[in-house]
Amino acid sequence: MTGFWALDYLCLAAILASGFLVVRMRNLNAAVMALSGVGTVLSLTFLVLGAPDDAHSEVVVGAIALPTLYLIAIAKARTNVSAEDELGESSDRRHPG
Amino acid sequence: MRPRETDDEPTHRPIIGAVLVAGVAVVLAVAMVDLPREGAPLPSVARYAMDVAIPKWGITEPVNEIVYGTRGFDTFGETFLLLGAVVCVITLTRRREPRQGFIGEQEAGAREQARHDAGSGGNETARQAEKAEEPGEDPTDRPVGPATPDHEPLGRPAPEAAQAMTVVVRVASRVASPILAVAGIYLVAWGYSPGGGFPAGAVMAGVILLVYAAFGYRRIARAVQPSIFETLELLGALIIIGCETLGLVLKGSFSANWIPLAEPQTIRSGGILQLFSGGEFIEVATGLVLVIFAILGMEHDWARDRQ
Amino acid sequence: MIVANYLTAAALFCFGLYTVLTRRNLIKMVMGLSLIESSSYLLLISMAYRRGSTPPVLLNPPHGQTVTGLAKGNVADPVLQNFCLTAIVIGVAVTAVFLSVAVRVSQHYRSLDSDRMREMKG
């Protein structure tokens, strides 16, 4: 059992450290990466605690969906892009052809 | 470029916030110490869910059984919350509409203009001149980068419109994306082992994002179109509605199982659970892709300077 | 001791609450909400755990055990795990909506700073 609790506490410490970084980081992109770290380590914790389904869901959300959404939103809020070329590329998806 | 305001990160009354948070922390800590610990017996609802998993649903995965079967109504509502969020994001990120005057004014004006143009007739040069004045939809005046950055000579600034990443990333994603896609489909198809529609859908959305990041939008533009994905999304919703409502029609209760049970630990075990899970898979995969590409394609909508 | 998990969840909640209360950057506020969501996931899964329990999966029972024995045996609470799964899906959907609202607001006011949005101030 001690091995179990050691793993558990290690995961908790990593989660707390990443959460603290999310609060303290000034760079928004770095804070997003810390948030992604919280999600990924959280999925490891779920695996330790015997919840494989939630570990699956949390790892795809924490490592793929949330960072992508945040990074895209930060880029969109910061850049003053011109109206065309909104994807940075020349195809226009709403009016194909 | 304007200086970034985010780098010095202004805060708002940190002391009052800290005091409030400390109060909440004390309350939470007192509550947490009183929660049932790991020695408590399982609640009877959990025992019930474990007991009915194999006899009633023929599935060896009680979590999937609860998500899509016993508490199917809850998941039904959750799926439509996801659909509502997708609709919300698409509405928020759509382009600005030509709504300067009263609604319909512009169309009526265009009709009158067309009648006037037809009446004046024959003045070919004037029409050509008018056409030239219209803001160009001409695709040639846009800077177009090379098809891949590999042919780009070294030491030049990055292409204006990069189409793809370097050969290393492209080969890696060529190898990884089919494996990831198969893993995603495995998660949803083998419903009797941990997995299910939601993680599988998120993995599929990740595969599409990987291909987009490696090859650029142009390579996936024929497949990833809002019209196709919105249709698929609503198709997934239709599968879920039909699957649940048929239970009401055939068995007399919403989300009852109406598909004959197959042998446990086969791909068809679980009755309607598999169908519901498949619908959820389509719903989540297309929903996430739609949301991400909607925010990615959000148009420049800066307010005009007040002067 | 599982209380450590509960207290970590409480601490994560407080980090999130502090971020929402004191930061003025809209995207940082959304991150605080994501932290609060994560704390609720951790609490639910920790409450599902029982001492020495196995995951609630009846697949391939270990040697000398039957499936029904596994179902009656020492397993984690599958109902709370189901709640957590639902919460994760809803968390992603809500975050996407928040972020698109934040981007639209920043485009309108040309700033992510919530103190500059004075039009609705009472």
With beta carbons under 8 A apart, name residues in chain A contacting C8: 12, 15-16
Q: Is the pLDDT of residue B110 over 80?
A: no
Q: How confident is the model at residue B138 (pLDDT cuts 50, 70, 90)?
A: very low
Kindly calculate the radius of gyration of chain C based on its CA atoms and give it in whole angstroms. Answer: 21
What is the SS3 string spanning A24-72?
Answer: HCCCHHHHHHHHHHHHHHHHHHHHHCCCHHHHHHHHHHHHHHHHHHHHH
Q: How confident is the model at residue A44 (pLDDT cuts 50, 70, 90)?
A: very high
Which residues, at least 6 apart from A71, have a Cβ–Cβ distance to it below 8 Å?
Answer: A29, A32
Please compute the mean of the pLDDT values over residues B264-279 and round it to a whole number: 85
Q: Is the pLDDT of residue B142 over 60?
A: no
Q: In terms of pLDDT, which residue wins out, B270 or A69?
A: A69
| % chain B with pLDDT above 70 | 75
With beta carbons under 8 A apart, name residues in chain B contacting C96: 85-86, 89, 291, 295
Distance, CA of B209 to CA of A81 (rounded, Å):
22
Question: In this structure, how many other beta carbons lie within 10 angstroms of the beta carbon of residue B15?
Answer: 8
Q: How confident is the model at residue B3 (pLDDT cuts 50, 70, 90)?
A: very low
Q: Map out the domains of chain B as residue ranges.
A: 60-93+161-295
Subunit contact A51:C25, Cβ cutoff 8 A: no
Q: What is the CATH T-level fold of the domain C3-51+72-116, as seen in this structure?
A: Helix Hairpins (1.10.287)
**For chain A, first and last CA: distance in Å?**
63
The pLDDT, as a whole number, for residue C1 is 82
Parent domain of A56: 2-76
With beta carbons under 8 A apart, name residues in chain B contacting A19: none
With beta carbons under 8 A apart, name residues in chain A contacting B195: 53, 56
Closest-CA residue of A relative to B94 is A94
ipTM of the complex: 0.89
Please name the chains neighbouring C, where neighbouring means 3+ C-beta pairs under 8 angstroms. Answer: A, B
3-state secondary structure of C113: strand
B11-44: pLDDT as tens digits: 778 899 999 999 999 999 999 999 988 888 888 9
With beta carbons under 8 A apart, name residues in chain B contacting C61: none
The pLDDT, as a whole number, for residue B119 is 64
Subunit contact A64:B206, Cβ cutoff 8 A: yes
Q: Is the pLDDT of residue B300 over 70?
A: no
- With beta carbons less than 8 A apart as the criterion, state whether B43 and C79 touch: yes
Closest-CA residue of C relative to A72 is C99
Measure A61 CA to nearest chain B CA, in Å: 7
Q: Does B302 touch chain A (CB under 8 A)?
A: yes
Q: Is the pLDDT of residue A83 over 70?
A: no
Q: Is the pLDDT of residue C97 over 80?
A: yes
3-state secondary structure of B43: coil
pLDDT averaged over every residue in chain B:
80
- With beta carbons less than 8 A apart as the criterion, state whether C22 and B13 touch: yes
Q: Is the pLDDT of residue B1 over 50?
A: no
Q: Is the pLDDT of residue A85 over 80?
A: no
Q: How confident is the model at residue B162 (pLDDT cuts 50, 70, 90)?
A: low
Subunit contact A57:B4, Cβ cutoff 8 A: no
Q: Is the pLDDT of residue A54 over 70?
A: yes
Any idea which of A4-13, B162-171, B197-206 has the lowest mean pLDDT?
B162-171
Distance, CA of C32 to CA of B246 (rounded, Å):
42
pLDDT averaged over every residue in chain C:
88
Tokens of B226: 């809002």
Q: Is the pLDDT of residue A60 over 50?
A: yes
Minimum-distance CB partner of A56 among B6, B144, B187 = B187
Subunit contact A16:C8, Cβ cutoff 8 A: yes
Q: How confident is the model at residue B272 (pLDDT cuts 50, 70, 90)?
A: confident
Tokens of B286: 């297309």
- With beta carbons less than 8 A apart as the criterion, state whether C2 and C59 touch: no
CA contacts within 13 A on the Cβ side of B249? 7
Q: Is the pLDDT of residue A82 over 80?
A: no
For testing contact with chain A, the best of B298, B302, B304, B305 (most A CBs within 10 A): B298
Q: Is the pLDDT of residue A37 over 70?
A: yes
The pLDDT, as a whole number, for residue C94 is 94
Element (DSSP H or E) covering residue A20: helix A2-24
C19-35: pLDDT as tens digits: 999 998 899 999 999 99
- With beta carbons less than 8 A apart as the criterion, state whether A16 and C12 touch: yes
Please compute the mean of the pLDDT values over residues C79-98 and round it to a whole number: 93
Q: In terms of pLDDT, which residue wins out, C118 or A49?
A: A49
Q: Map out the domains of chain C as residue ranges.
A: 3-51+72-116
Any idea which of B10-14, B255-259, C2-6 has the lowest mean pLDDT?
B10-14
The pLDDT, as a whole number, for residue B190 is 86
Q: Does B218 touch chain A (CB under 8 A)?
A: yes
Subunit contact B196:A69, Cβ cutoff 8 A: no
The pLDDT, as a whole number, for residue A94 is 44
A93 in a domain, yes or no?
Answer: no
Subunit contact A12:C5, Cβ cutoff 8 A: yes
Please compute the mean of the pLDDT values over residues A20-33 and round it to a whole number: 92
CB under 8 Å, gap of 24 or more: what pairs does C34-39 form? C34/A35, C34/A66, C34/C91, C34/C95, C35/A19, C35/A22, C35/A23, C35/A35, C35/A38, C36/C12, C37/C87, C37/C91, C37/C95, C38/A15, C38/A19, C38/A38, C38/A39, C38/A42, C38/C12, C39/C9, C39/C10, C39/C11, C39/C12, C39/C13
The pLDDT, as a whole number, for residue C10 is 96
The pLDDT, as a whole number, for residue B18 is 93
Measure B167 CA to nearest chain C CA, in Å: 32
CA contacts within 13 A on the Cβ side of A5? 9
Subunit contact A90:B142, Cβ cutoff 8 A: yes
Structural domain tally of chain A? 1
Subunit contact A69:C8, Cβ cutoff 8 A: no
Question: In this structure, how many other beta carbons lie within 10 angstroms of the beta carbon of residue B178?
Answer: 11
Helix axes C78-109, B72-93, angle to 10 degrees: 10
Q: Is the pLDDT of residue C4 over 90?
A: yes
A8 in a domain, yes or no?
Answer: yes
Q: How confident is the model at residue B132 (pLDDT cuts 50, 70, 90)?
A: low
Subunit contact A60:B206, Cβ cutoff 8 A: yes
Any idea which of B129-143, B216-230, B268-282, C39-53 has the lowest mean pLDDT?
B129-143
Which residues, at least 6 apart from A20, have a Cβ–Cβ distance to it below 8 Å?
Answer: C15
Subunit contact A15:C8, Cβ cutoff 8 A: yes
The winner for highest mean pLDDT among B87-101, B256-270, C80-94, C98-112 is C80-94
Subunit contact B10:C75, Cβ cutoff 8 A: no
Q: Is the pLDDT of residue B298 over 50?
A: yes
Measure A93 CA to nearest chain C CA, in Å: 19
